[in-house]
Amino acid sequence: MKNLLCLSMSVIMYLLFANTSLAFNNYVPLLEIQSEFHTTYESEKNILKSDCPILKRKCKGTIQWKNGDQYKGAIRFGKPHGHGTYTWSDGTTYKGLFDTGVPHGFGKKSYIDGSVYEGEWWNGMKHGKGAYSFSCGDEYFGEFQDDLMEGEGTILFGSGESYSGNWKENQPDGYGIFSRNDGSQYAGNSHQGMKDGEGMIIWETGDTLQGNWVEGKLEDDATFIFNDGSTMISFWENGETQEELTYITSEGDEYTGNQKELASVIITQDFDRLESVENNLQLAYYIFAMEYKSNQQFGLAQYSLQLAMSFDNSELNPKILEMVNDQMANIKSEQEDTGVASSLKN
């Protein structure tokens, strides 16, 4: 008998943000759920003891099976029917409504690992609205269909991060919003657990990145719109930036260059809003790194983070600098966990 596998924050948030240590190629793994009540009571010969005759229309009592399972509650024609409690030999329990031997209606199932599902059932499967509490502390609230998380739902992670939106076959699929602890959100489309289609990364400062993702990777034009009115245009192919970036100030001044060149080009112009530009580029390079990291392109991620750290630290946003430093350490840990080696660009 299987229950929902624990969705750790590091798995599902890696889907869109690459924020922690585990890597699953941008996929949220399918949670193992199965129809759990095609069990021993379907065969009369497996019953060890029953308080109610099989031909009795309405009865209350206990049924015991040879494998150690037990049911207490309402019984009809020898099967659980109405309200009752089913206890498996391993200690797993279901308490709620039954119909002709299977859960049907509202019920609560408690697993031995501490996970709990409470909600609607249909013909022995989780179906309708319900809540699933994972043993790791994550919680899902929303719709189920045929034992799968499907429809509208929200998962809250123990870390405080979350995803709210559409689900299909236990994975984010369709429009949704992913929120993480660094203050950013991804609002957009996903497919089979990967960013896919138009979307936007929004920061609490008002800075945004608008782009198009294909199977988890940025593709074609991606545009940063910074809160000071500046913009930066980048072109992506198969999840990597291509050739020059274009930075346009709020006054309309335009600068071009690759990641390494762009900051130097602007600085040499003695631009009077240099601090704002440096903060914008630092945030952009941090986001570049997160995109690379989500696809296990650790060398490119480290390179972008090093560029983000290359500015005058005394002039930079301390929160962004802290995030950059944290991610430098996290990438090293992830390389060890995944076995993916990297080398920095020269």
Tens digit of each residue's pLDDT (9 = 90 or more) over 91-104:
999 999 999 999 99
Q: Distance between CA 222 and CA 258 in Å, rounded?
A: 15
Check: pTM over 0.85? Answer yes or no: no
> Is the residue at 213 inside a domain?
yes
Mean pLDDT of the 58-79 span? 93
What band does 186 get if pLDDT is binned at 50, 70 and 90? very high
Q: Which residue, 225, 236, 342, is CA-closest to 288?
A: 236
What band does 258 get if pLDDT is binned at 50, 70 and 90? confident
Q: Token pair 């762009």 is at which residue?
A: 262
Please report the sign of the dihedral spanned by the C-alpha atoms of residue 123, residue 69, residue 48, residue 85.
Answer: negative
Beta strands in 158-216 (DSSP E): 162-168, 171-179, 184-191, 194-203, 208-214
Number of domains composing the chain: 1
Least confident of 82-86, 165-169, 239-243, 287-291: 239-243
Q: Distance between CA 17 and CA 327 in Å, rounded?
A: 12
Mean pLDDT of the 156-166 span? 91
> Is the residue at 228 inside a domain?
yes
> Is the residue at 167 inside a domain?
no
Q: Name 210's bridge partners.
A: 200, 223
Q: Distance between CA 32 and CA 199 in Å, rounded?
A: 29
> Is the residue at 125 inside a domain?
no
Q: Distance between CA 223 and CA 17 in Å, rounded?
A: 18
- Asked if pLDDT for residue 295 goes beyond 70, the answer is yes
Predicted pLDDT at 35: 41
Q: Which residue has the higher pLDDT, 80 or 251?
A: 80
Mean pLDDT of the 297-312 span? 85
Q: What angle do CA 218, 219, 222 make, to 5 degrees?
A: 75
Q: Distance between CA 304 and CA 282 in Å, rounded?
A: 9
> Is the residue at 74 inside a domain?
no
> Is the residue at 65 inside a domain?
no
Q: Token pair 């945030």 is at which residue?
A: 283
DSSP percent split of the chain into helix, strand, coil, nearest 5:
25, 40, 35
Q: Token pair 């929902």 is at which residue?
A: 4
Predicted pLDDT at 270: 55
- The domain of 265 spans 205-346
